Amino acid sequence: MNGAESLVATLLGAGVNVCFANPGTSEMHFVAALDRHPEMRCILCLFEGGATGAADGYFRMKGDVAATLLHLGPGLANGTANLHNARKAGSGVVNIVGDHATYHLKHESPLKGDLAGVAAVAAHWSRAGVDAAGVAADGAAAVRAARAGNGRIATLMLPADTAWGEAAGPADPGQVPDLQRPSDAAVAAAARQLRVPGAALVLGGSALYGADAERAGRIAAAAGCDLLADYLVPRMRRGAGAVAIRHLKYIVEENVAALADVSSMVLCGARRPVSFFAYPGKPSLPEAPGSAVFDLCDPEMDVGWTLKALEAALDAGSAEPARRGLALPDVPEGALTPQSVAAAVALVLPEEAIVVEESITNAAPLLVATETARGHDLLSVTGGAIGFGLPSAVGAAVACPERRVLALTGDGSAMYTVQSLWTMARERLNVTVLVYANRGYRILHRELVNVGVTDVRRNAQRMFDMEDPELDWVAMAKGHGVGAVRVEDAAGLVAALRDGFARQGPFLIEVPV
């Protein structure tokens, strides 16, 4: 058994059985080892950002780590933007990154780079292999690190000679360290605070879906407090039957208004709400002046235990959460606008769909319209690095093959990781992609106004717009093996969405707005 084989056996023994891969020469022994283990599902991504984004989406829906296989420093660098999103989401990812053989590193070969420096940009944990005998233990440590703290980024750098050298058997990752918990005194103080008029419980992580969200709903009902979620969420249950959680916005002024009557915030699985950017004359923190902030449980702590403790402290076990009802819009007609597109999506969205949202400029009406759609899960671009939507949809579909995935993306964002369409086609994933084709980085027009610039001339216009020539999304989709259609009105969009959700495999809808 060589080092690469011991690593594959370690990963499989630890329950890591999916690898999103974009390998190169320095990973060939690892590829050969993977080839001898068909129980590891290896999924080729044609760009490293597709692999890391898919691993992020997989964790958000599966709740456990996948591996990525990347090629040296440049490959890891290509994947770093979506690792940034994964880190902000609290997703666990194990990156296996091939490097030059240890004795070759002293030479200035073309692909030599500061691999450790690149890894440090997004990883919580990183390690470079020293010899083949230690590779299995290094891999076990990487899995353990990725599962710690509710999900972290772990990067194992694997020199080629540690992969081909002789090694012993696999290693056991052992137990993940226990999550930290707030003190009983802190829980009691938070419970008292939540009973004060104007209090809000700000939720993140597992508190936004499943049993933890139900518990948060009971806490709010018993205490009489508000429930809040930040604008960009890793995963949130929404639609009919979901616990009613007020969703913050992108625009600073809207958040200031939303928080104007909130006298105190208790944070559970969430960080303090902060404006996306700084703007002249606008606040970085949208909370009301003098609002108290009680940091009870940060995202890397035991969110579930904390909610159980709060529930007990408030005697909330029999309380009934406030829930969203089902209220579908009428069939939209006429021109395609952000509002008619949102209505079409809300009307047709299937029960238990997974909505991967990177619609950027068009997000606001979409989030309002789908609040009372059929029950679904929402995944957002938590780190703000665009190019998240298509690969995350790949990972979500791999994690939950029984569920329909809808990826909503702007055309500018989708161009960052358009190669993910090919992976959807190869893996026969049930992903419907809706591309808002507004022919530019439309949000940047708004951002220019936000910083006080109103006189927009040729240079700024040409840096924001994708015209002359226009992108042809139907042609690009078909070139990647994905069926596609361009719609011209709201009725056509409703029909195309129904068609996409009924198909086996991926389908793309280009929506000019």
CA 282 to CA 253: how far, in whole Å?
A: 8
**Would you say 87 and 383 are in contact if contact means Cβ atoms under 8 Å apart?**
yes
- CA-closest candidate to residue 407, choices 457, 458, 345: 345
Predicted local distance difference test score (pLDDT) of residue 450: 66
Is residue 357 helix, strand or coil? strand
Nearest Cα to Cα of residue 505 among 434, 426, 414? 426
Question: Would you state the CATH architecture of domain 338-511?
Answer: 3-Layer(aba) Sandwich (3.40)
Q: What is the pLDDT of residue 361?
A: 86
**Residues ≥6 apart with Cβ < 8 Å to 10:** 136, 139, 140, 143, 170, 171, 173
Residue 198, φ and ψ in degrees, nearest 5: 90, 0
Q: Do domains 3-164 and 184-313 have the same CATH topology?
A: yes
Tens place of pLDDT per residue across the chain (513 aa):
999 999 999 999 999 999 999 999 889 999 999 999 999 999 999 999 999 999 999 999 999 999 999 999 999 999 999 999 999 999 999 999 999 988 888 898 888 889 999 999 999 999 999 999 999 999 999 999 999 999 999 999 999 999 999 999 999 999 999 999 999 999 999 999 999 999 999 999 999 999 999 999 999 999 999 999 999 999 999 999 999 999 999 999 999 999 999 999 999 999 999 998 888 899 999 999 999 999 999 999 999 999 999 999 999 999 999 999 999 999 999 999 999 999 999 999 999 999 999 998 899 999 999 999 999 999 999 999 999 999 999 999 999 999 999 999 999 999 999 999 999 999 999 999 999 998 666 566 567 766 677 777 777 777 777 777 889 999 999 999 999 999 999 999 999 999 999 999 999 999 999
CATH class label, 3-164: alpha beta
In Å, how far are 261, 283, 373 from 290, measured between CA atoms?
A: 11, 14, 37
Question: In 10 A of CB 433, how many CB atoms?
Answer: 27
Residue 449 confidence (pLDDT): 66
What tens digit of pLDDT does each residue of 334-392 get?
A: 999 999 999 999 999 999 999 999 998 899 999 999 999 999 999 999 999 999 999 99
Q: How much is the pTM? A: 0.95
The pLDDT assigned to 454 comes to: 73
- What pLDDT sits at residue 445? 59
In the chain, domain spans = 3-164, 184-313, 338-511
Distance CA 236, CA 393 (A): 15
Spatial separation of the C-alpha atoms in residues 428 and 153, rounded to whole Å: 28
Ranges assigned E (strand) in 253-401: 264-268, 292-297, 353-358, 376-380
Pick among 3.40.50.1220, 3.30.530.20, 3.65.10.10, 3.40.640.10: CATH of 184-313: 3.40.50.1220
pLDDT for res 466: 72
Q: What is the side-by-side order of every strand in the sheet holding 507-511?
A: 236-238, 376-380, 353-358, 405-410, 431-436, 507-511, 483-486
> Which pLDDT score, from 0 to 100, does residue 444 have?
65
Output the pLDDT for position 276. 87
Spatial neighbors of 333 by CB under 8 A, at least 6 apart, are: 340, 489, 490, 491
pLDDT of residue 468: 79
| Distance from C-alpha of 48 to C-alpha of 74, rounded to nearest angstrom | 9
Per-residue pLDDT, 380: 98
Cβ neighbours of 149 (radius 10 Å): 18
